[in-house]
Each structure stands twice: as C-alpha cells, then as structure tokens.
Amino acid sequence: MKLDNLLVELLTEELPPKSQKQLGIVFGKNIKEFLAKQNLVSEISEEIIFSTPRRIGIHLKDVKDEAENQNVSVKLMPASVGLDASKKPTEALLKKLYAIGLDEKAINRIVTKNENDADVLYIDKNIEGVKLKDIISECISSSLTRLPIKKMMSYQLSDGWTTVNFVRPAHGLIVLHGANIIKANVLGVESNRTTLGHRFESKKESIEVKHADEYAHQMRAEGSVIVSFEERKVLIKNSLKEKALSLSNQLTPIDDEGLLEEVTALVEYPNVLVGEFESKFLEVPQECLILTMKANQKYFPLIGKNQKLANQFLIVSNISPKNTDLIIQGNEKVIRPRLSDAEFFYAQDKKKPLKEYLVQLANIVYHNKLGSQADRSARVKLIASLIVKTLNHSKLLDAALLASDLSKADLSTNMVGEFPELQGIMGRYYALNESISEEVAFAIEDHYKPRFSGDTLPRSTVGDVVALADKIETLIGLFSIGEKPTGDKDPFGLRRQAIGIIRILIDKNIDLNLNNMISESIRATQLSESKDLHPFIYDRLANFFKEQGYAALDIEAVLAIESGQINEIPKRLNAIKEFLLLPESKDLASANKRVGNILKKAALKTTLKIDRSLLKDEAEINLHKTLDAVDAEARKQYQEKDYAGSLKLLCKLKSPIDQFFNDVMVNAEDESLKMNRLALLEKLHSAMNLVADLSQLSS
C-alpha cells in the first residue's frame, strides 16, 4: 500500500460565474466522501478545493492506492431458515453463501447470535480492499453527477456520435497520485498530467504537472492562474483597498460580497485598474449609478467618507499588459452610455409628479387573481388606515395615506422599468424632487424594508405603518388564492414578508395585535380567509425566536397562547426563563397539564360559574380563596405587562393545588358538585395560562 496526495482537475469551458464556487466545493466534497467510504482516505484528511473560470478540482492529502483488507461480520439469515431440524444447512443458506463468494466449506465458520429472542446466523468474511485505480473513474463521474447544476448542456464528443451532459464541455482531466498518473475516463476525456493555463497570460502552451503537490505552484508560475477561489478572492479584496487608498485615503471600494464572489469567479489572475467617468453624472441618484456599474459591468464603485459616490471606479481585469491604457479606455467607453441612459431616465421621470404615474399602475398586473398594482395599492392604503386607527396615530393618517398611495407609483417610471431593484428608492427621490415631506418620501422607500435578512427597518412611524400594511396585504392576498410556500419553494418571498412584520413589531415595540389586524384587513379588503395563514406566521415566529437563542419549550409555551401581541413575546419568554428558576415551577407546570387534561376530557361547551355555596371540602374552599386573591393580583400585573411578576404570584397556588388533588374528587357523583369543581379548575387554568401555556413546560 502506498500513501500519497491526490490531485484531480477537470478542465472545462467557462463555468457559470455565479455557481462556480459552489461547483468546486461540492465536487471536492463528493470525491472525498466517495474515497472515504472505500477506506482510501480518512474523513479528517486535509483537502484544498480549486475552482477558476475554466476548472474545478481538489488536492487531497494522504490517499491510499489500495485499501486494507477488512474482516467483516456478514448477517446471513435467521437460524430457523438456514438450518433444518437436524441443524444441517438448508438450500437457502447454501445459496446465500454462494451469493457472497463462499461455499459449503465455510459452514463451519458460521456462528449463531441471539437477536430479539431469535437466533440469527452470521459469518466472518475477509473483504479485499479496493484499488484507487479501479474506482477513480466511478468516483469522479459520480461526483460530477451529484453537482448542483441548474442548467445542463448536451454536446457531442469528437467521435461525432457520443452525447455527453455537463454544465460546460470538458477538455482535460488530471488525476495524479503523487507523481503517478491514475488512468481514468470521465465525460469522454482520458486522464493525463497536462492542463492549460491562462488563455492570454500563460507562459506555456500547456502545463505538465509533475506532482500533485506542485500543481498550485506550477499553475501560478507557469500558467498565470491562481487556482484557489479563496486565494483569488482575498487578493482581489486587498488589491481593491490598496488601489482605492492610492487614489485617496477618503475613498473605499463598495462592500458587496456577492459582487466580490462573482468577479472572483470571472478571473484567473486578477489585475485591479482605475476607471473614471464625467462628474456631471453624479447629479443622478447614486443608487442608479452604483447599480449599473455593479450589475452590468461588474465594476466596484468608490465611496467617499461622506458616503457619497466618487466619479472613479475599480475594474478587475483578467489580463495584465504592460500598458493598461487601452483596457481602461475601453471600460470607460462602455460605462458612459450606461450612465447616460440613467441620466436620461432620471431627467424624463422628473418631468411628471408621482401622482401622474399612478394611472399606469392599472396596466401593471400584480397577479392575475388579485388584479393590478393599482388594486394592490388601494388595498395597502386601506390596511394602512386600519393600522393608524388601531394605534391611535390620527395625526399621522394623512401622511400614511399619501405614502401608501404613492408607494407603488415609481413602478411606472423609466428608471424602475430599467432597474427593478430601485423600486422604492426612486420613489423617494421623485417625492423629494417635488417637495413632498421627507416623512412621506422615506416611507415610500422604506415600505419594502426589511428587504433581506439583516436589512435595516423603516426610519419613521409612517414607514412602519406602510411597511406593515404592504406585508400584511401580500400575505393575506397570496394566501387567499392558495399561493403559499411549499417545502423550500417560496417564489413570492412570503417567509421574508412574515419575518419583516415580526421584526418591525418587535424591534419597534409596536403594540399592534397582529391576529386582529389580519382579520380586520381580510374583512376590509374582502379577500378570502385562509386557514393556513395563521399557522404559517406562528411557524415563522417559532423559528425567529429559536434563532434568537430561546429554548424550544419556552417558545411553544408562549406561542400556544396566540395573543397576537407580537411585541410582547420577548418579554413573555424572558418571564418564562425567570419562572423556571423558581422551585415551584415544575410542579405548577405539571399541575397545569393535569388540569388541562381534566377539562379536555370534560369537554365543556360553555364557561362555567363557581357557586360558592357548593364548595364543601376544606381543600376546595382554600383553593378558591387563594385563587381569587392570586388571580386578581396576577391579572393586574399582567395588564401592567409585568409578566415575570404575574408568573411569580402563581407560586402561592402550589400548596392549595396539591391539597385539592389529594383531598378532592373532581368527578363527584353529585353532578352539581362535579360541575362546580370543574368551574373552579377552569378558573385556575385561565389564571395559570395568562402569560404562557405552562403545560408545555411539563416534561
């Protein structure tokens, strides 16, 4: 057995940049897992993943050329099937032995083991270890078939007959175990030790890799290719900062992880250059300029200390000629018409007030079952008015209605038509341009927030109102027509909308009952109610608080109440945490569960009233008396939102509850006594479950 490092490189045509990194990672992971299952490599062996525009690969340490033989215990069959009455092997047992490469001579090695009161036949068998050269083709092929490829290409091999399917045509394959070539055939390509370097910068026409360990060095030195994605990414990031600093200590490249990763996937040996555009374009909203530079040209805009865009940008080139002037001039020539388009769109859009763009919303379909964007905007406006009324923010009504009215207006503008990502942002600019208040203008932009995980929230109460209205309308509307998320599919981003509502209500501590508001909104908009919406929101709530680090049982206990006061949930969860520290908490939780089960079994159809004259036993009299005092005080604390204090008062009930269950028979023969005791338990259950359903805390 020989131990050495393994190199696998698949050379292809240009890979999709947005998925290149993931393709490399999964390819390497698949190869390592396959070899580990064959006992050719340890699961803790170190690996280095490679991916560039034209290749994916892995360098894996300490790979065996042949696995050790293994002695394994093979389960054959039940003894009752394998042996007859005289303990001789049956035909079934002999067939099984032949099937695993043994014969009747091995019968003496069979042992009997008792499993679940039945005898089972086993035999020890020596399994020959696999050879790396025998399974490497299967290893690479199976690793490629399990890649997350969204769109597959079909192409013919040079024989003109064979069709191959892969993300891009393959042109080369290196499989080296140390310095030795391991023969393999994958995607119609035979393995060897040669590959190609950079299309333009390579010092050699082809590169002959001498040893698996020399691959990365040779590719950089001879092929002008940095094969490690992460190494290129770090180099680009540092080069961007250095180049910006060389221009001015006031400038920094825009921080955009997605753009950085995409650019890393586009180059094999990065070279950062500086481009420039006319300062007149800075009169256009900088979000427009930034977006066109990033999305269309993959440039890195430069931002000053005052967060204002500079008229210089950084280019990550894939070539490094001695004279870079032509590259810079070419890029400047390409960006200029893009910026001119943005300038033109902005100038044209400003010629009309936002109100005039509302007419065109009737022609933009939101959903064929929910009407146009104009219909949607009307529903958002209606829900916003309900929220303002519920929160007693009458002074904000006019601003909230205007912001709701104009919230979708910019969808009809030229700029948003060209750059949909700017919806809301352009509405803010156009509103400010016609001297609409900042409160309304920022609400137009902010009603989409939070757009993604970790995004900022609306900057004002008006923004909060319109954002909540927009998200509630989206949820009730799409759920009303059955467009709910399924599995990992959520085409309308409804999970994000629900989390947005949760974050706004909690982070802004908005005292809005979400359950009631959703019901009112459904009635007001005349949309159909969906039984799936409520569980959907509460599932999101549970996941949200789990991510915040709260215990699952605590979350279940609090959410079981379904009060709808989302902003109060963190306080309730913290109160539960304090309650569980009390020595009485476990017994109270168990008692609550017992009470709940009794009431469930009784299946009461109406709320019962306690008749004091029917309280006979000392234990029930004592419980009633203590409960009256505790319930009144606990409800007072609850109304004052002192949830921890409300729960703490329940400790006074422990002894009376214990005494009641020890001394009193709830299901008395006298029906009136029985119903009165159930009424007492019903009141007890209600008092104990103000803050949370304590039975959920009972193990």
Q: How many CA atoms lie within 13 A of 578 on its CB side?
A: 17
Look at residue 285 in the predicted model and tell me its pLDDT.
Answer: 96
Rounded to whole angstroms, the Cα distance separating 459 from 473 reads: 21
Crossing angle of the two packed helices 397-406 and 438-446, in degrees rounded to 10: 50
Predicted confidence band of residue 160 (pLDDT cuts 50, 70, 90) = confident
CATH 3.30.70 assigned to domain 3-67+131-221? The reply is yes
Which residue(s) pair with 316 in the sheet? 272
Residue 301 token pair: 């805009």
Q: Answer yes or no: are the C-beta atoms of 185 and 23 closer than 8 Å.
A: no
SS3 content of the chain, % helix, strand, coil (to 5): 55, 15, 30
Residue at 528: amino acid letter = S
Predicted confidence band of residue 485 (pLDDT cuts 50, 70, 90) = very high
Asked if residue 321 has a cis previous peptide bond (ω within 30° of 0), the answer is: no
Q: How many CA atoms lie within 13 A of 7 on its CB side?
A: 25
Considering only CA atoms, which of 68, 55, 70, 66 is closest in space to residue 177? 66
Rounded to whole angstroms, the Cα distance separating 7 from 181 reads: 10
Q: How far is CA 165 from CA 1, 155, 183, 355, in A?
A: 36, 7, 21, 53
Mean pLDDT, range 563-567, rounded to an integer: 93
103-156 residue pLDDT tens: 888 888 888 898 888 889 998 887 788 999 999 999 999 999 999 998 999 999
- Per the prediction, the chain carries an average pLDDT of 94
Rounded to whole angstroms, the Cα distance separating 235 from 217 reads: 16
Q: Sign (positive/negative) of CA torsion 27, 32, 38, 43?
A: negative
87-90 contact pairs (CB < 8 A, 24+): none
Rounded to whole angstroms, the Cα distance separating 228 from 241 reads: 20
Look at residue 69 in the predicted model and tell me its pLDDT.
Answer: 84
Beta strands in 194-292 (DSSP E): 194-195, 207-208, 252-253, 271-276
Considering only CA atoms, which of 135, 124, 180, 144 is closest in space to residue 38? 135
Mean pLDDT, range 598-615, rounded to an integer: 88
**385 or 563, which is more confident:** 385
SS (H, E, C) 90-129: CHHHHHHHHHCCCCHHHHHHCEEEEECCEEEEEEEEEECC
Domain definitions of the chain by residue range = 3-67+131-221, 70-127, 229-349, 366-549, 573-697
Residue 70 token pair: 């293994």
Rounded to whole angstroms, the Cα distance separating 623 from 631 reads: 11
What dihedral angle (degrees, nearest 10) is formed by the CA atoms of 538, 543, 544, 548? Answer: 140
Percentage of the chain lying above the pLDDT 90 cut: 84
Q: How far is CA 562 from CA 205, 258, 559, 593, 635, in A?
A: 69, 39, 5, 18, 17
pLDDT reading at 699 higher than 80: no
Residue 585 token pair: 């908490």
Distance separating the N- and C-terminal Cα atoms of the chain: 55
Rounded to whole angstroms, the Cα distance separating 26 from 20 reads: 10
310-338 residue pLDDT tens: 999 999 999 999 999 999 999 999 999 99
Which residue(s) pair with 119 in the sheet? 114
SS3 at position 50 = strand
| CATH, domain range 366-549 | 1.10.3210
Considering only CA atoms, which of 311, 315, 295, 291 is closest in space to residue 303? 311
SS (H, E, C) 524-555: HHCCCCCCCHHHHHHHHHHHHHHHCCCCHHHH
H or E stretch at 153: strand 153-156
Residue 676 token pair: 């009165």
Residue 553 token pair: 């049982």
182-229 residue pLDDT tens: 999 999 999 999 999 999 999 999 999 999 999 999 999 999 999 999
Look at residue 99 in the predicted model and tell me its pLDDT.
Answer: 85
Residue 591 token pair: 């008692």
Which residue(s) pair with 156 in the sheet? 163
Mean pLDDT, range 44-68, rounded to an integer: 95
The model carries a pTM of: 0.82
Beta strands in 518-655 (DSSP E): none
Residue 468 Cα to chain centre, angstroms: 22
Look at residue 265 in the predicted model and tell me its pLDDT.
Answer: 97
Rounded to whole angstroms, the Cα distance separating 396 from 398 reads: 6
641-650 residue pLDDT tens: 999 999 999 9
141: phi > 0 → left, psi -120 to 50 → alpha, else beta; which? alpha
Q: Which CATH class is domain 573-697?
A: mainly alpha
Helices first, then strands: H and E counts in the chain: 27, 20
pLDDT reading at 294 higher than 80: yes
Look at residue 142 in the predicted model and tell me its pLDDT.
Answer: 96
Look at residue 68 in the predicted model and tell me its pLDDT.
Answer: 86
Q: How far is CA 375 from CA 365, 370, 387, in A?
A: 9, 8, 19
Question: Which residue is associated with the tokens 């300062």?
Answer: 279
